[in-house]
Structure 1
Amino acid sequence: MVIKHLRKWLVSGLLSFSAVTAVQAQTFVFTAIPDEDETKLVERFRGVADYLSEQLDVDVRYIPVKSYAAAVSAFRNNQVQLAWFGGLSGVQARRLVPGSEAIAQGVEDEAFVTYFIANTSTEIEPADSLADLEDNLRGKTFTFGSKGSTSGRLMPEFHLRDTFGEAPESVFSRVGFSGNHTRTLRLVEAGTYEVGALNFQVWEKELADGNIDTDAVQIIWKTPAYPDYQWTIRGDVNERFGEGFKDKVTKALLELGDPALLESFPRSGFIPASNDDYEPIRKTAENIGILD
């Protein structure tokens, strides 16, 4: 009888040990929309992975993706459990994964803006409203960023449609999608496209780093503010990584204070976010037909 109980205890203990080991051995994986050059993103998010691994006491890995759609797909398929999304891609991802939540955003993401920029050869002067630029913009070539970008496509397209009463393809002689904000800047700077729209943070960071030829390109209009980037986490992480894990991730992100890491985003810090914060983005996307 004693041997039987001992055997049962040993088996039970081994199973428990195996379960704990399996949980500890799991890797928490995250990704981010490829809104800038890949080398910059890899450097930034490897730093975030190291920070989260230390704070969460689990193995944390960042995996790069090639497109906004790929980031959403990876989240939907549980290849990643956390993602740094833009406003639109976050809305798309949370629609596909019930129970997922926006948990943190940059301080600057509460009131984000898009810059419309133009090659100086167009001689378009900056204006206070898009309507003031209507005659100067019509017939020009124009590039958005990624098709899934909030600041590089959704919001600029919304304002163009609202102002012109037409689709961008009817306003401009040629419309393109550069793929990311840095590329939009370079294409307009080079004159490949005459006008473009990009994330204001990318412009400001590149300007501060001395990477913009201001004789070749300038800002001609700034959109009204809207909510944008956020960290979104899957709703099933507690089941996979243990009770309270989502709260630990949230706390770690909100307490991220490394100046170099924050500067790489660039953000001054992170603050709490919720799904409700992005209702304006969802409604805008539905309004122009990007979301069904």
Structure 2
Amino acid sequence: MSERRRPAALLAGLCLSVATLFSAAASAETTELRVSAIPDEAPTELLRKFEPLGNYLQEQLGIPVVFQPVSDYAGVVEALGSKRLDMAWLGGFTFVQAKLRTGNAIPLVQREQDEVFTSTFITADPDVHSHADLKGKSFAFGSVSSTSGHLMPRYFLQQDGIDPDTFFSRVGFSGAHDATVAWVESGKVDAGVLNSSVWEKLLEQDKVDTSKVHVYTTTPTYYDYNWTVRGDLEPELVERIRAAFLALDPANPAHKTILDLQRASRFVPTSAENYTGIEEAARSAGLLE
């Protein structure tokens, strides 16, 4: 090749490289939003709660929004880490796990009540009025990875000087909040703990026999649930998702239906710093190395 022709060839090569980069960038754009949630309730209930929200997000974003159920809490974290999910409804502890697993998970929004969340301790034993009354009896948490069904109740028990693994005769994990209620009501365990919001919902739906089961105490407040996205989603899409959640207005009847299913008065911005206390509690409880 002559010296005269070499610059032209170099320029052509450069143009081809730039075109390839633009092509790759275009192909990397999100064409559908893959969404899931920690399975803290029955799969049919999670899908029922999400469907109106999914339709709303699809309208706001202009791309398909697909709900992908998972079998366990760890599956949600792994799916975010392996980029098989774009967004997920996580508990505070699962968010901490996702942040550590991915290095860049972004908590977008939480419900107003997630700033002051609590867990509810229940029993079917009329003689139980405090933790002390359960010494030597059986107890149920929800999922091992549940913030409100395991981590924070365990942490607060430890703060009260109770090691659940030695204080109770047997500790079981029901896998979900509604399952914990069923265990307690049926007598499978003497007591258990669950998400206070789910407890209130079950009461409203008459799915608890209150002649058998009663609340004996609740935890102090803590930060819990949020909607989290992968940190490598396009920034513009991330902001549009956040804006869609923040635009949900309880004064709008269609929006109120969505908010009611999410048990939310409205959504507010959140940040990773809000979950520092959850991470510290998890390390204190020996659930994180």
> What is the TM-score normalised by the length of structure 1?
0.86
- State the secondary structure of the residue aligned to 1:237: coil
**Deviation, structure 1 residue 19:** 7.2
What does 1:231-270 correspond to in 2, within 5 Å?
Answer: 231-238=227-234, 243-257=235-249, 258-270=255-267
Of 71, 78, 83, which residue of structure 2 is paired with 1:78?
Answer: 83
Report the counterpart of residue 252 of structure 2 in structure 1: none
**Deviation, structure 1 residue 162:** 2.0
Coordinate RMSD, CA, aligned: 2.2
Higher mean Cα deviation, 16-25 or 214-223?
16-25
Structure 2 contact 34–84 (Cα < 8 Å) conserved = yes
- Tell me, yes or no, if structure 1 residue 205 matches structure 2 residue 201: yes
Structure 1 contact 122–194 (Cα < 8 Å) conserved = no
Partner amino acid for 1:250?
A: R
- Tell me, yes or no, if structure 1 residue 193 matches structure 2 residue 198: no
Pairs aligned (count): 268
Report the counterpart of residue 150 of structure 2 in structure 1: 153
- Tell me, yes or no, if structure 1 residue 217 matches structure 2 residue 213: yes
**CA 1:161–1:111 in 2, change beyond 3 Å: closer, same or farther?**
same
Structure 1 contact 24–58 (Cα < 8 Å) conserved = no
**Deviation, structure 1 residue 21:** 7.8
Query: Runs in 1 of length 4+ with deviation above 6 angstroms?
Result: 14-21
**Deviation, structure 1 residue 274:** 0.2
Q: Measure, in 1, the Cα distance between the counterparts of 2:227 and 2:220.
A: 23
Partner amino acid for 1:170?
A: T
**Deviation, structure 1 residue 99:** 2.2
Of 17, 41, 54, which residue of structure 2 is paired with 1:36?
Answer: 41
Residue by residue, what CA displacement relative to the aligned partner does 1:122-153 show, whole Å, maximum 9, x if unpaired? 4213xxxxxxx243110111000000000000
Q: Measure, in 1, the Cα distance between the counterparts of 2:28 and 2:168.
A: 54
Partner amino acid for 2:258?
A: L
Report the counterpart of residue 140 of structure 1 in structure 2: 137
What does 1:33-182 correspond to in 2, within 5 Å?
Answer: 33-119=38-124, 121-125=125-129, 133-166=130-163, 168-182=164-178
Report the counterpart of residue 281 of structure 2 in structure 1: 284
Q: Measure, in 2, the Cα distance between the counterparts of 1:20 and 1:275.
A: 28
Identical-residue share of aligned pairs (%): 37
- State the secondary structure of the residue aligned to 2:171: strand
**Deviation, structure 1 residue 25:** 7.4
Q: Measure, in 2, the Cα distance between the counterparts of 1:122 and 1:178.
A: 22
Gaps of 5+ in 2: 1-15, 250-254
Report the counterpart of residue 274 of structure 1 in structure 2: 271
Partner amino acid for 1:26?
A: T
Partner amino acid for 1:146?
A: S
- State the secondary structure of the residue aligned to 2:34: strand
Partner amino acid for 1:202?
A: V
Structure 2 contact 93–151 (Cα < 8 Å) conserved = yes
Q: Measure, in 1, the Cα distance between the counterparts of 2:132 and 2:152.
A: 20
- State the secondary structure of the residue aligned to 2:36: strand
Q: Measure, in 2, the Cα distance between the counterparts of 1:72 and 1:262.
A: 25
Structure 2 contact 30–233 (Cα < 8 Å) conserved = no
**CA 1:17–1:162 in 2, change beyond 3 Å: closer, same or farther?**
closer
Partner amino acid for 2:205?
A: D
- State the secondary structure of the residue aligned to 1:291: coil
